[in-house]
Structure 1
Amino acid sequence: MRELFIRIFFKRREKYWWINLLIPIISVILALISGAIFIKATGRSPLLAYKYLFGASGLFPGPFWKRHFAEMLLYSSMFISTGLAFAIAAKGGLFNIGAEGQFIMGGIVAVYFGYARPFASMPTFLHLTIIFIMVMIVGGGWGAIAGYLKAKKGIHEVITTIMLNWIALYLIQAWLVTGPMQAKETGTGIVTGTPYISQTARLPKILPGTRLNISIIIIIIVTYLVWYLFYRTTLGYEIRAIGHTLIFDMEAPKASGIDVNKRIIQTMFISGAVAALGGGFMFSGILFKYPPVFKCGFGFDGIAVALIGQNEPIGVFLAGIFIGALRAGATSVQLAHIPKSFPSILEGLTVAFIALRELIRYWLIKLAQSQKSAPVEAEKGAK
C-alpha cells in the first residue's frame, strides 16, 4: 500500500511539474496583495509604499540604483547562505533550526583569524582562504554535534539545534567578546567588542563606491556546488534517499546499503558549514569586528528563504535575492509613513502562503484539468 501511494503521489506531481514553479510566484503575489490591504487599512497608500520599497530594493533602475543594487546583493548573499543550510538539511529529512548559531560561530572564527597576529601579515588571498576554511570547519562541526546526537542518541535535531543556538550566543557574547577576545581597554570602561580584523582579512570589493564584495560571487559558486552535490553525486543521492523515505520507512535506506547514521552527521556538517559562510560574509565583508551585542536573525530568515525556494538550490538563490531586495528597501518604505518592519511582514505572509502550497497545487491542478476538458466538452456539444 505504501509503495502504491508513493507511486501515485509522485506520478501526479511529475505530470504537473510546472506547478512547483508557479507556487512561489503566486505566494509572493498573494503576500503583496495582503500587504496592500493591511496598508490601506491604516489609511496609507499601498502604491506609494511599494514605490518606495521596490524603488530602493535594487531590482529596478532609479535614483541611487547602484548603491541599492549593491546593498541588495550584499544582504542576499547571507540570506542565501542560511537558506541553503536549511535546504541541505531538509533534503536529508532533517530540520536545521541552528543556522543562527552556526552563523555567529562562523562570524567569531572569521574575526579571530582576521586579527590574530600570525595571520595578519599574510597575503590577502591566502589569509581569506584560511579564514573561510576555518569558518566552514567550525560551523560544520557545530552542526555535526546535532547530527551526532540525532544519529547516535536519537535526540531530535530541532531540540539540539535550538539549544546550540543559545550556547553559541552566550559563549560568544558573555565570554569571548567580553573576555579573551576583547579589544584593549580604552580607559572608558566601555566594552568595545573584539579588535578590528586586518585589511588582508577583508573581502575585496567588486563595485566601486559601494560595500558590495565578492561574497555574492562565492555564494553563486556555493549554490552551484550544492546543486551538483544533490543531483550529480552518490552522496547527494543517498542524502535525498534518506530524506524521501524518512517519513515512511527508516529501514529502507539501510536495506539499500546506505549508512544512515553517517549520512545524517555528514548532512548536518555540510549544512552548518554553509550557514557559517554567511557569518564569514558578515564579519569579513561588513562589520570587520564582533561587537559586544550582535543581533543576527539571518539564521531564522534562512528558514523562510528555504521554504520560499522549496528547498531547491536555484529556488533558494532566487528567494534569497527577493528577501535581500525587501531588506534593502526597508528603510525607504518609511518615507510612505510605513514602519521599516513592513518587509518582514511581507516575508512572513509569503511563508504563510507557501505553507498552503498543497491547497494552491490542488486549485492549479483542477484549473489545468478543466482547461483540458473544455475542448472535449465543446466537441461533444458540436456533435
Structure 2
Amino acid sequence: MKEVFQRVFIHRREENWWMNILVPITSIIIALIVGAIFIASTGRDPILAYKLMFGASGLIPGPYFKTPFAEMLLYTALFVSTGLAFALPARAGLFSIGAEGQFIVGAITAAFFGYWKPLYNLPSIIHIPIILVMVMIAGGIWGLIAGYIKAKKGINETIVTIMLNWIAFHLIEGWLVTGPMAADVATNVSGTPYVSPSARLPIILSGTRLNISILIMLFVIYLSWFLLYRTVFGYEIRAMGYTAITNMEAPKIGGINTERRIMQIMFMGGAIAALGGSFDVLGSSGQFPPVFGGGYGFDGIAVALIGGNEPVGILFSSILIGALRTGATAVQLARIPKTFPTIIEGLIVAFIALEELIRFLLTKLLIRKKEGVA
C-alpha cells in the first residue's frame, strides 16, 4: 500500500519521501501558531477566532455545513485552475505569473459566447462545451504569447506575463466591457449582458451554488498528473525543469525541442487558468461585471507553492485556501478583520519558502528522537 501511495502521489524514490508531505504540513501548523500569537497580541481570543473560522470553512461538519461546504468547493475549483496554471510551467523551469490575465481573458470569452445570439438558444449539453473550448483556446493563446517570446526571443517570461496581465486588465475592463461588449442601456445592466440560461453551469448540490466546476477541475488534475508522470511529454517537461538553472542544455543535447515544449506548456497553463475565469462567469455572476473581482491568478502562486507544484498537492492546498476564504467573514464575530485568513495564507507561503530550514530542523529532531530511543 505504501508503494502505491508513493508512486501515485509522491513520485520520488528517495528513502525519506514522506518528508515531502511532512514539511508543508509543519509549515501550515507553524503559520497557524504564529497567527494565533498575532491575535493574542491584540487582546483577542485566538481559540475563538480559529473556532469561528474553521467552523464556517466547510471543512468541519455542523448544523449549517452544506452551504459553507459548497462555497469552499467553488473556491477550490478557482484556485486549482490558477494553481495549475503556475505549477505546470514551473515544472518546466518557467516562472509564469500570467494566470491573472489568462483568468480574465477566460472570463470575458465565456461572457461573449454565453450571450452571443447564434449560440443563445442551444441546449446546455452543446452550448457549455463550445464555450469551454473557446475559453481554453483564448486563454491558451494568451499564455502562448509569453511562451513564444520566451522560446524565440529569450525574453524573461516573468516580465512578459506581468505585462500581459496589465494588457488583459485594461483591454477588457477599460474597453470591451464599457464599449463593444457593454449591455444595452435600456436593460439597466452594468457590464456585459447576462449569459443564456443554457450557458449556466449545472448545480450539483441542491440549495447551494455548487456547480460542475469542481468536477471539471478534478478531471483536469488527473489529466495534469497523467501528463507529467505517464507520458514522454511530461518526462521532457520535468527534465527541462531540473536543468533550468543551466539553461536546459542537457535536454537540448538529449534531443528535446525545448522551444516547442515551452510554448506548449505555456499554452496549457493559460488554457487551465482561463477555465477558472469561465467558472466565475458561467457559475456565479452570470456576466462579466463592470468591476471584476480578480486576484485569483496571484493566489494561484501561493496555492502552487503550498502544494509543491504537484497536481494532487495543489488540490489539497486549494481546499485549504478555499476553506480559509469561506470562513473569513466568520472571524469578524471575534472582532478580527475578515482579511485575517489572507495573513494566514501569507504566513504559510513564507514558511513554505523556508522549506530547507524546516526540513533540516525536522531531520535533526527525528535523528535526536531515534538516538534517544536507541
Residue ranges of structure 2 left out of the alignment (5+ in a row): 1-11
User: Do residues 223 (structure 1) and 218 (structure 2) align?
Assistant: no
- Equivalent position SS for 1:67: helix
Alignment partner of 1:334 out of 332, 351, 354: 332
Is the 8 Å Cα contact of residues 84 and 275 (structure 1) preserved in structure 2? Answer: yes
Q: How many Å apart are 1:154 and its aligned residue? A: 0.7
Is the 8 Å Cα contact of residues 16 and 365 (structure 1) preserved in structure 2? Answer: no
Is the 8 Å Cα contact of residues 182 and 195 (structure 1) preserved in structure 2? Answer: yes
Corresponding residue of 1:129:
129
Instruction: String of CA shifts for 1:60-92, please: whole Å, max 9, x gaps.
Output: 012311001000001110011101111101100
User: Do residues 359 (structure 1) and 357 (structure 2) align?
Assistant: yes
Whole-angstrom distance in 1 between the partners of 2:256 and 2:75 = 38
Instruction: Judge which range, 99-108 or 247-256, deviates more.
Output: 247-256
- Equivalent position SS for 2:301: helix
Alignment partner of 2:241 out of 243, 266, 277: 243
- Equivalent position SS for 1:131: helix
Whole-angstrom distance in 2 between the partners of 1:13 and 1:344 = 35
TM-score normalised over the length of structure 2? 0.95
Corresponding residue of 2:3:
none
Corresponding residue of 2:6:
none
Corresponding residue of 1:71:
71
Whole-angstrom distance in 2 between the partners of 1:290 and 1:301 = 20
Corresponding residue of 1:97:
97
Corresponding residue of 2:44:
44
AA partner of residue 28 (structure 1): I
User: Do residues 114 (structure 1) and 118 (structure 2) align?
Assistant: no
Is the 8 Å Cα contact of residues 330 and 342 (structure 1) preserved in structure 2? Answer: yes
Whole-angstrom distance in 2 between the partners of 1:67 and 1:262 = 45
| 1:344-383 alignment runs, 5 A limit | 344-374=342-372, 378=374
| 1:9-24 alignment runs, 5 A limit | 14-24=14-24
Instruction: String of CA shifts for 1:174-213, please: whole Å, max 9, x gaps.
Output: 110000100001387xx71100000000000000000000
Instruction: String of CA shifts for 1:262-304, please: whole Å, max 9, x gaps.
Output: 0000010011111111001111100110111112000000000
Corresponding residue of 1:204:
202
Whole-angstrom distance in 2 between the partners of 1:344 and 1:177 = 29
Q: How many Å apart are 1:14 and its aligned residue? A: 1.5
User: Do residues 214 (structure 1) and 212 (structure 2) align?
Assistant: yes
- Equivalent position SS for 2:338: coil
Q: How many Å apart are 1:249 and its aligned residue? A: 4.8
Larger Rg: 1
Whole-angstrom distance in 1 between the partners of 2:25 and 2:215 = 25
Corresponding residue of 2:144:
144
Whole-angstrom distance in 2 between the partners of 1:192 and 1:373 = 68
Whole-angstrom distance in 2 between the partners of 1:187 and 1:280 = 23
Q: How many Å apart are 1:50 and its aligned residue? A: 0.6
Corresponding residue of 1:182:
182
AA partner of residue 257 (structure 2): D
Q: Percent identity?
A: 63
Q: How many Å apart are 1:13 and its aligned residue? A: 8.2
Instruction: Judge which range, 191-200 or 172-181, deviates more.
Output: 191-200
Q: How many Å apart are 1:43 and its aligned residue? A: 0.7
AA partner of residue 296 (structure 1): G
Q: How many Å apart are 1:121 and its aligned residue? A: 1.0
Q: How many Å apart are 1:366 and its aligned residue? A: 2.1
Whole-angstrom distance in 1 between the partners of 2:236 and 2:66 = 43
Instruction: String of CA shifts for 1:100-158, please: whole Å, max 9, x gaps.
Output: 00001000000000000011111101100000001111101100100111011110000
Whole-angstrom distance in 1 between the partners of 2:28 and 2:196 = 41
AA partner of residue 46 (structure 2): P
TM-score normalised over the length of structure 1? 0.93
Corresponding residue of 2:274:
276
Alignment partner of 2:287 out of 282, 286, 289: 289
Corresponding residue of 1:8:
none
AA partner of residue 340 (structure 1): K
CA RMSD after TM alignment: 1.4
AA partner of residue 279 (structure 2): F
- Alignment: residue pair count: 363
Corresponding residue of 1:4:
none
AA partner of residue 96 (structure 2): N
Corresponding residue of 2:165:
165
